[in-house]
Amino acid sequence: MGTVSTVLSPPALRTGMALAGAGFRRWATYRQAMLAGAFTNTVFGFLRTSVMLAVAAGAGGVAAGYRGPQLATYVWVGQGLLAVVQLWGWTELSDRVRTGDVQSDLLRPVHPVLSYLAADLGRAAFALCSRFVLPMVVGLIAFDLYLPHRPATYPLFLLSMLFATVVSFGVRYLVNLTAFWLLDIRGVIMAWLLCSNALTGMYFPIAFLPGWAQAVLWYATPFPSILQAPVDVVVERGTAGHQATVLAVQGCWAAVMLAAAVVVQRRAERRLVVQGG
Amino acid sequence: MPLIETTGLRKEFTVRRKAGRFRRRRHAVAAVDGIDLAVERGEMLGYIGPNGAGKSTTLKMLTGVLSPSGGEARVCGLRPVAQRTRLARRIGVVFGQRSQLWWDLPLRESFRLLRYVYRVPSAEHAARLAECRRLLDLDEFLDTPVRQLSLGQRMRGEITAALLHGPEVLFLDEPTIGLDVVSKQAVRSFLADLGAAGDTTLVLTTHDLADIEKLCRRLVVIDHGRVVHDGSLAELHARYDSRRRVVVDLDAPWDGTPVPAGATVETVAADGFRVTFGLAGGTAGDLVAALAGTGSLRDVSVLEPDIEEVVARLYAEPA
């Protein structure tokens, strides 16, 4: 309890905001890379939408409970969210462990998990303004997308994206922490990429799987909370109660992943060997 | 009470060595092997040793980054590992080969961010930054992203970053490594002024012994994880019988003229036209007066004891 109140104290929040702002500005530096990424996401959006609409048509207009416009929205929101939750390729922490630069992180009076989380939220905010918006605008112009009917869905979607980013951060942070033991984490990264593509709802909606597999994925793994959850919230799959359940599951996974990151960080620091002298 | 105090501080690392085709044996290697140290507030301490002696490992234990395998350490009255976050607000650390700045952001942004990270009141932060900007000439590259700074510029930025929260102790791990002569002088001069002000305790590790000569009154030498010398530079010279040298150039080859007591001939070079004398006692003036009497004295230079040579002799001693 004391730790939570310390983290949420006004000075700590100001520090967090400053770190998040730095994360935003840091990523805003590379505008051409942002445009290239948004372009690629948009191209793949067209390809994936064509496949999904064909699936819906083949299933008589409704596939696993999604109508055509909902599936198109699933694709375009997913393409935009890829960068927001940074589904692929974050090895900054493991690189710093490998080079020994991680000691600079440990010399600051801010817990490394909070410091990296704040910077990641800043990065996600920039991605939301750029990498999410650009493909969504193209998708809205080119396809008949499903727009939420319930006004409450819009703030719930924002909350769901926040949870998704935190869950994704937690998983990525844990993957990177393995560098304290392994140094070379390419194998772990490969496993994460496999899971992040197949189990988050990136390749296909989780609802396409058998019921038991869906239950296992939603409740026993954090993966659907990273991508499928915000998509299901925004396409209003099921009732408002279902939306609340999805958000509750995401919230739980966000808390679990952050707690796990803090615990593993503590163990990792005990076995720290600063590389490179 | 000392600001930094260690008793029997130890750090062991486990290394695996090949013990057969498929077998590896674990060995414990002591990087730091029982360091006792007391540093008073305001001291400027040079902490030197050969590569692998345990200097950086000691610093990492004192800053709370590494957990000691044994012994005790207190810095600013705090236990470094257990109270690392509190300690971080009271110390500054500069690693010559690492950066604490944000790579993609301009230097000014890094400094602004550090104000929030260390929770420094705005006026204090502004005053310290203004002082560092003036003394370290930061203005010309304050808006340049850190990744585009030269090593000398970055190091000036690193030192500023380590001082903006007003630390009681500043740990410097090879702060002049790789710097050109001008940048080295700028960094040394700044640190000398900082140490002279007396508010900040400096602990400096370096391989550049000129840093030590210019900055530190006290020198701790470690080798194989143990302290082999703790005292002033003069005491180190006395311990190794360091001598001043007088090099004379003559108009005629050296003929063995008697010299005052305490002066000995060390080398005769250039076909006898250049002679180097060691002075264990007496003065250079006595020696020069004696040589001037021969009528062949052309030129004289006096060389102070060479710290590099003394330290090399110290390192060469068996541990």
3-state secondary structure B254-277: CCCCCCCCCEEEEEEEHHHCEEEE
- Cβ atoms of residues A226 and A237 within 8 Å: no
pTM of the model: 0.87
- Does residue A22 belong to the interface with chain B, where contact is any CB pair within 8 Å? yes
**Token pair 């819906």 is at which residue?**
A56
β strands within chain B, DSSP E: 4-18, 24-39, 44-48, 70-75, 91-95, 169-173, 201-205, 218-223, 226-232, 244-250, 263-269, 274-279, 297-303
SS3 A17: helix
Q: Give every residue of chain A whose pLDDT is below 50, as ranges.
A: 1
Pinpoint the alpha helices (H) of B4-70: 55-62
- DSSP per position, A192-229: HHHHHHHTSSSSS-GGGS-HHHHHHHHHH-SHHHHTHH
Q: Which of A84, A66, A60 is nearest to A204 (CA)?
A: A66
Considering only alpha carbons, which residue of chain B is nearest residue A109? B85
- Cβ atoms of residues B52 and B30 within 8 Å: no
Q: Which of B201, B193, B166, B150 is nearest to B46 (CA)?
A: B201
Confidence band for B265, pLDDT divided at 50, 70 and 90? confident
DSSP state, residue B146: G
Contacts of B99 in chain A (CB under 8 A): 101, 104
Please write the tens of the pLDDT for every residue from B193-221.
Answer: 999 988 899 999 988 888 888 899 899 99
- Does residue A273 belong to the interface with chain B, where contact is any CB pair within 8 Å? yes
* pLDDT value, residue A4: 64
- Cβ atoms of residues B266 and B314 within 8 Å: no
Contacts of A31 in chain B (CB under 8 A): none
Min Cα separation B286/chain A (Å): 50
d(CA B237, CA B231): 10
Please write the tens of the pLDDT for every residue from A196-222.
Answer: 989 999 999 999 999 999 999 999 999
| Residue ranges per structural domain of chain A | 2-276
Min Cα separation B270/chain A (Å): 45
**Identity of residue B269:** A
Q: Do B104 and A277 touch (CB under 8 A)?
A: no
Confidence band for B244, pLDDT divided at 50, 70 and 90? confident
Contacts of B98 in chain A (CB under 8 A): 100-101, 103-104
Q: Do B98 and A104 touch (CB under 8 A)?
A: yes
Q: Is B193 left (phi over 0), alpha (psi -120 to 50) or beta?
A: alpha
Please write the tens of the pLDDT for every residue from B287-298.
Answer: 888 888 877 888
Contacts of A33 in chain B (CB under 8 A): none
ipTM: 0.86
Q: Which of B88, B94, B98 is nearest to B118 (CA)?
A: B88
* A249, A252, A257, A262: CA torsion to nearest 10: 170
Angle, vertex CA A243, rays to CA A242 and CA A247, nearest 5: 115
* B117, B121, B125, B126: CA torsion to nearest 10: 130
